[in-house]
Structure 1
Amino acid sequence: MSLLIFLLVVIKTEGFHSINEVPNPINITFIDSAVSKGAVCLDGSPPAYHFDQGFGDGIDNWLVYLEGGGWCETESECKARALSTYGSSFRKPKVYYFNGVLSKNQMINPEFYNWNRVFVRYCDGSSFAGNVEAVNPATNLYYRGARIFKVVMEDLLEKGMKYASNAILTGCSAGGLATILNCDRFRALVPSANRVKCISDSGYFIHAKDVPGVKRREKRFAGVVRLHELSNFLPSSCTSKRNPSLCLFPEYLVKDMETPLFLLNSLYDSWQITYNLKPHHGDEHGWKKCTKDTKLCSPGQLKTIRDFRMDFLKSLQEIGNSSCTGMFINSCYLHCYTYSTERWNCAAGLGNTTIAQAIGDWYFDRDSFKGIDTMHDVPQECTQCL
């Protein structure tokens, strides 16, 4: 998985805010004390986050957002990331504009606008899961994602999160996967909170066993598991049943989670379709044209996309029907919703209920929302969400 792919995806949304929202720039905070604990980014720089303090009746509520940006599965990929914003906190922008679920505008974000809101920077390449003690002197890279998560949470607990009444862990893409991986750990940090739940945005990366490219998808996650030594991090409820390399696929993790989880995703996730289904040999140029404009897809390409959708639906069915698991699964050809004000407030093909409304109702137990669009067998443009 090339670094460039992920940078192109994430740069489009970095610092993005709606023209209808007053910009809310939040300065970066570095945890310099983490360096002595070995909790550092790929290049050895300290972890960092952006924090906007809550107010009013949200003063004791916390929403922690994990940044996404893919993974590195080889030393060469990680070395390239270490020279980018996704491997070094020193290369991160010094301010971040809070929007969508992080917005402090009550009209845009009525449920969480006055909570303590935190955007945690991603710089380890393992979805905040790696913990390799040894450092190869030839590369001088640190694979310490789990340590980063731990020290950031400790810092936030000291800032008041230990007194949280309500708490949410969320994130998009690789941050959405990190949310699933760390959700139960997060809940354990605030045992006295009234309500702790997690929201995975576009982090439900499916195995898609019946769709071309499955061996390549397996190899990619196997590389991440091996390089970042995730076998001991991943839950034994999964690793005791199957190869640990498969235990980064959320469909094998979600059923055993104890903390309530909301899955926000598209059956036609544009990132997964573009990169996870990309032909290894053959008409890669034709696939690029197809994924840029799905109306240009050939019948064979559309079949691959429809097969992906069917595997996605099948994996959701296998999760079960727990009332703790909420879902907003649409057919938009999009990836990531929560940090875009337009997408956060978009109905996105599931009646008149917006994503913000669905998640708010689920979080506060007003409705165990489970919306899945089973009507469309081709990707939808959802221009109203852009």
Structure 2
Amino acid sequence: MKSFLVISLFALLLPRCSRGFEYWNQTKLVDDGITDVGVPHFVPITLIGSAAAKGAVCMDGSLPGYHLDKGFGSGANSWLVQLEGGGWCNDINSCLYRKKSRRGSSYYMEKQLQFSGILSNKPEENPDFYNWNRVKIRYCDGASFLGEGYDSAAGLFFRGQRIWLVSMEELMSKGMRYADQALLTGCSAGGLAAIHHCDEFRALFPGNIRVKCLADAGMFLDAIDVAGQRTLRHFFGGVVNLQDILLENVSFGLQEWRETYQGPALLAFSLFCIQTPLFLLNTAYDVWQLQESLATKAADPHGYWIDCKMNNAKCNTGQIEFLQGFRNQMLLSVRKFSLSSKNGLFINSCFAHCQSERQDTWFGSNSPSIRNRGIAKSVADWYFDRFQVKLVDCPYPCDGSCHNLVFSRRY
């Protein structure tokens, strides 16, 4: 039976792989005029030559890849592995579209990527992880590194699980087997992948070393949209069926989920089932979910939500009230998860999406904070067991530290 750990989520740009779900690539973002600081640090891509023989290929059959910046000094044996985000595709047409992009083929991937935020190699930008071995695994399967299928008619490979496994084998051969501490992370679709693969990652290492996971913008609630429908529920069902997603050690299947899904309750159950310490970094007003599941074109045919979706400052009273209900559902979803002393939580009241990858939101003089505690410090304090971190922001518009995303054009 196909089993799907419904974290009520499924992430990024999650862009579904369709145009509507890839707004990162098609919309210019304005972020308070703040830019990354320092000299950009670019890391070349490495393709995994052994992957083809194992069927661990991108959607078009090309080799998967990763970017590795070696650690040094005290971090020479510490490893931070980031799973790239980029949404999913839930039907043949959207997958064919994705197949001809960097989200489905290594032929279109950048040969070098800038490492910033949690991947930065500068102590002034990333004080706790700058000298670790830092890896970004590229995302080209369309299902958060979870699929295990093939469509011969369309020539589409859904091999996310195999890509995950061959990537781990590759990194272990590159020295990760000798790690004295490790952190698995990801943003959006990569954040969802980090949740799903968290316990698998833990199992790679001896039990006496510190291994934890960080999911950035990886929570996508099964929330009712502005038209009273459940956009994500239908969409994720398509992803699961198309890509033959099969997860082991899950006690319920897709059909059971469709029949008995109860939103926040099941999300909390799913998160609580993960044994490895996990940190959830999320905004209470995630702009991806606002644009692509709460107020889609289909749900808002007359465009009443367009201005609000593009700029939170233009949301009217009724729209803010609706979004406060979404925030309440999110907090309810993580209540049980947050009770565990091993887990961490940082939910702020910004209109944003992914805050660990960008330098201005990860660590800077005016980065987002809750009770004067920034994101990078909160994650590090939790990871190194300095403090328990369970930070939840007051409701919008109380937080003046936010770097809200404002979109420059409509689509």
Matched with 2:360 is: 342
The structure 2 residue matched to 1:30, chosen from 25, 43, 47, is 47
Distance 2:237 2:230 in 1: 10
Distance 1:34 1:350 in 2: 43
Matched with 1:139 is: 154
Tell whether the 8 Å contact from 1:221 to 1:245 is kept in structure 2 after alignment: no
What's the offset of the Cα at 1:107?
1.1
The 5 Å alignment of 1:259-338 reads 259-279=276-296, 280-338=298-356
Distance 1:12 1:131 in 2: 31
CA gap 1:243/1:7 in 2 versus in 1, 3 angstroms: closer
Greater relative contact order (CA < 8 Å, ≥ 6 in sequence): 2
The 5 Å alignment of 1:34-53 reads 34-53=51-70
The range that moved more, 220-229 or 235-244, is 235-244
Matched, 1:113 2:127: no
The structure 2 residue matched to 1:372, chosen from 388, 392, 398, is 392
For 1:197-254, what per-residue CA distance to the aligned partner results, in whole angstroms no more than 9, with x for missing partners? 0000000111225975553211011111111112445722676974499699854421
Letter of the 1:348 counterpart: P
- Residue identity (%): 41
Count of matched residue positions in the alignment of Structure 1 and Structure 2: 383
Letter of the 1:65 counterpart: Q
What's the offset of the Cα at 1:49?
0.4
Matched with 2:212 is: 197
Tell whether the 8 Å contact from 1:130 to 1:228 is kept in structure 2 after alignment: yes
CA gap 1:155/1:245 in 2 versus in 1, 3 angstroms: farther
User: What's the TM-score once normalised by structure 1's chain length?
Assistant: 0.91
For 1:333-372, what per-residue CA distance to the aligned partner results, in whole angstroms no more than 9, with x for missing partners? 1000111111001542402211010001000000110100
The range that moved more, 62-71 or 185-194, is 185-194
Tell whether the 8 Å contact from 2:227 to 2:300 is kept in structure 1 after alignment: no
Tell whether the 8 Å contact from 1:218 to 1:246 is kept in structure 2 after alignment: no
Matched, 1:351 2:374: no
The 5 Å alignment of 1:27-176 reads 27-132=44-149, 135-176=150-191
For 1:27-74, what per-residue CA distance to the aligned partner results, in whole angstroms no more than 9, with x for missing partners? 000002101110001000111000000000101100000100111011
- CA RMSD, aligned part only? 2.8
**Structure 1, unaligned stretches of length 5 or more?**
none
Distance 2:300 2:27 in 1: 29
For 1:82-135, what per-residue CA distance to the aligned partner results, in whole angstroms no more than 9, with x for missing partners? 011100011100000100000000111111000000001000010000112xx3
Letter of the 1:335 counterpart: H
For 1:252-277, what per-residue CA distance to the aligned partner results, in whole angstroms no more than 9, with x for missing partners? 42110000000000101111111110
More helix by share: 1
Tell whether the 8 Å contact from 2:226 to 2:299 is kept in structure 1 after alignment: no
Q: Say which SS state the counterpart of residue 334 (structure 1) adopts.
A: coil
**Structure 2, unaligned stretches of length 5 or more?**
1-15, 407-411
Distance 2:319 2:133 in 1: 45
Q: Say which SS state the counterpart of residue 45 (structure 2) adopts.
A: strand
Q: Say which SS state the counterpart of residue 200 (structure 1) adopts.
A: strand
Q: Say which SS state the counterpart of residue 373 (structure 2) adopts.
A: coil
Tell whether the 8 Å contact from 2:125 to 2:359 is kept in structure 1 after alignment: yes
Tell whether the 8 Å contact from 1:238 to 1:252 is kept in structure 2 after alignment: no
The structure 1 residue matched to 2:221, chosen from 202, 206, 212, is 206
